[in-house]
A and B are shown apart, each in its own frame.
Chain A
Amino acid sequence: MPPWLDDLFWTYQNLVYALGINGLLALSIYVVLAVGQLSLGQAAFMGLGAYSSAIMTLKFKLPFLLVLPASCIVPVVFALLIGGPTLRLSGVYLAIATIGLGEVLRAVYLNIEWLGGALGLSGIPERAGIVSIYGLLILALLVLWIVGRSHIGRAMEAMRTDETAAEVMGINVARYRLGALLASAILAGFAGALSAHVSSFISPNEYAFEPAVTILSFALLGGIGTPIAPVLGAFILTLLPELLRGLADFRLVFNGVIIVIAVLFLPNGILPFRLRRHGR
Chain B
Amino acid sequence: MPAILELSGLTRRYAGLVAVDSVDLAVTPGTIHAIIGPNGAGKTTLFNLISGITPPSEGQIRLLGHTVTDEPAYRRAALGMGRTFQNIRIFAAMTVLENVLTGLAPRFPGGLAAVIALLPSLRRAERSAVARARDVLDRVGLLSKADTPAASLPYGDQRRLEIARALASAPRLILLDEPAAGMNPAETAALALLVRKIRDAGTTVLLVEHDMSFVMNLSDHITVLNFGRRIHDGPPGDVKRDPRVIEAYLGPKVAARLAAQRQTTPGP
Contact = CB atoms under 8 A, between A and B. Distances in A.
A161 interface: yes
B10 interface: no
Which secondary structure characterizes the binding site on chain A? Answer: helix
Nearest to A167: B73
Interface residues of B, number: 40
B165 A169 contact: yes
Contact of B51 (A154, A168, A172, A277): A168
Given A169-B165, A170-B77, A278-B126, A152 B91 contact: no
Interface stretch (A13-21, A90-98, A109-117, A142-150): A142-150
B93 A157 contact: yes
A169 B105 contact: yes
A151 to B, nearest CB: 5
Contacts of B73: 164, 167-168
Contacts of A274: 93
A227 to B, nearest CB: 14
Nearest to B129: A151
Nearest to A166: B102
Interface string B76-104: 01100011010001111110011001111
A165 B150 CA distance: 15
Nearest to A143: B116
A173 interface: yes
Interface residues of A, number: 28
A126 interface: no
B91 A168 contact: no
A162 B53 contact: no
A155 interface: yes
B174 to A, nearest CB: 11
Contacts of B105: 151, 154-155, 158, 169-171
B122 interface: yes
B101 A162 contact: no
Given A146-B118, A162-B91, A169-B165, A154 B112 contact: no
Contacts of B102: 154-155, 158, 166, 169, 171
Contact of A170 (B74, B92, B115, B118): B74
A147 B122 CA distance: 12
Given A154-B98, A167-B72, A168-B51, A146 B106 contact: no
A146 B116 CA distance: 7
Given A151-B101, A169-B165, A157 B91 contact: yes
Interface in A264-280: 274, 277-278, 280
Contacts of A164: 53, 73, 89
A155 B103 CA distance: 9
Q: Which of A167, A169, A172 is most buried by chain B, counting CB atoms within 10 A of its CB?
A: A169
A280 B111 CA distance: 25
A150 B78 contact: no
B153 to A, nearest CB: 15
B93 A167 contact: no
A151 B126 contact: yes
A168 B83 CA distance: 7
B89 A170 contact: no
A165 B130 CA distance: 20
Contacts of A166: 102
B74 A171 contact: yes
Contacts of B147: 280
B226 interface: no
A179 interface: yes
A174 B73 CA distance: 11
A180 B91 CA distance: 20
B180 to A, nearest CB: 20
A161 B93 contact: yes
B98 A147 contact: no
Contacts of B106: 170
A85 to B, nearest CB: 18
A155 B118 CA distance: 18
A158 B91 contact: yes
B108 interface: yes
- 4 closest A-B pairs by beta carbon, nearest first, are A170-B77, A170-B106, A165-B89, A150-B115
14 contacts: A143-B116, A147-B116, A150-B115, A151-B115, A151-B125, A154-B105, A157-B93, A161-B94, A166-B102, A168-B73, A169-B105, A170-B103, A170-B106, A278-B97
